Structure 1
Amino acid sequence: MKTASNPTPAALPDGIPSGKEYYERSLTVALLRARESTMRRFKKYSDASDLSPPQWRVLRALADGVPLDAGTLCQRCVILPPSLTRILRALSEKGIIRQVDCSDARRHMVTLTEHGQTMFGQLVGQSEDSRREIEEAFGEEKMSLLLDLLNELREITEALPPNA
């Protein structure tokens, strides 16, 4: 007899491994674990500057000096519009970004302030050792291949038809 502490395993279609192997070989779980493990090495830098990881992504997206609109920032930073609105407000209040005039009044264009540019440079400088350490441990060629494969995976999954 099965009890609440010993439930019957879920039935899986033929060819799909069960138990721990199913979980350990899950693409979504592997991606999340790799992200979390990697982010732990960098989070201390954004924390020290009182930035959340999404705020750091916006700062990084604006670092090349080209003003960007909210839609572009959402796409580049993988942030939903309501969250981006809060992030832009917080970064503006901290003096990190400023709004830029745009010929299309419907577009909200922002750029880094001088303070934001300085902060970005400091954060990149501080985090470079961590990035280099990971790349040396993993291997430069493997890191390059991983980034290429992840970008290819994203492109392929974005091109697939939507789930029903």
Structure 2
Amino acid sequence: MAPTKHRPDAFPLSETQRTLPIALLRAREAVMERFRPMLREIDVTEQQWRVLRVVQEAGEIDATQLARAACVLAPSLTRILKTLEARGLIALHRDAADRRRTLVNISAVGKALLHEAGQTSAGIYKEIEERLGADRIADLLDALENVTQDLDLSNADAPDDG
């Protein structure tokens, strides 16, 4: 890794192009620019897509868990859920055991949309895999998962396993 250049009058910060936040954002943009045409075609935002995918995988999920799993802030999730429900893509209902909890399910219309878009999405993933290689993607996903776990503030005080 090349050393960071510092000018005497500069802040003691790394060059932006070699910072983790910027590098992660650039990588995200490089990936997402391939998916955005598909999302525009089905009239779904990136956040809505993440929410739909998580709900599809979960079958039924509490809104709080959904926000965390889809990487969406709770106020944004409320708006997203209203939009998706109005389009008939999801169904919302109160938990019978705890009326404060909202449960989210994917609807038949939502399943159909994801199935249709899934064909295109799979093709995009295949193109990315052809460029990067399956092993490289797996290694990157493992590394990112480890970074997330190591930096998770909720686990900051947890004892090490080693």
Q: Is the 8 A contact 1:65 1:112 kept in 2?
A: no
Deviates more, 1:64-73 or 1:54-63: 64-73
User: In the TM superposition, what are the counterparts of 1:1-164 in structure 2 within 5 Å?
Assistant: 9-12=9-12, 22-64=15-57, 66-103=59-96, 104-158=98-152, 159-160=155-156
Deviates more, 1:133-142 or 1:87-96: 133-142
Provide the TM-score with structure 1 as the length reference: 0.84
Task: Measure the CA separation in 2 of the matches of 1:40 and 1:131.
Answer: 12
C-alpha RMSD of the superposition: 1.8
**Deviation of 1:113 (Å):** 0.6
**1:58-101 C-alpha deviation (Å, 9 max, x unpaired):** 11001135211110111001111110000000000000001245
CA 1:156–1:65: 2 relative to 1, 3 Å: closer
> Between the two proteins, what is the percent identity of the paired residues?
33
Q: Equivalent residue of 2:105, what SS?
A: strand
Q: Equivalent residue of 1:95, what SS?
A: coil
Provide the TM-score with structure 2 as the length reference: 0.85
Q: Is the 8 A contact 2:90 2:104 kept in 1?
A: yes
1:111 alignment partner AA = N
Higher-Rg structure is 1
**1:118-156 C-alpha deviation (Å, 9 max, x unpaired):** 101111111111111111111111100000000110000
Deviates more, 1:111-120 or 1:63-72: 63-72
Q: Is the 8 A contact 1:92 1:98 kept in 2?
A: yes
Q: Is the 8 A contact 1:45 1:123 kept in 2?
A: yes
Task: Measure the CA separation in 2 of the matches of 1:92 and 1:11.
Answer: 48
Question: How many corresponding residue pairs?
Answer: 148
2:55 alignment partner AA = L
User: Which structure 2 residue ranges, 5 or more long, are not aligned?
Assistant: 1-7, 158-162
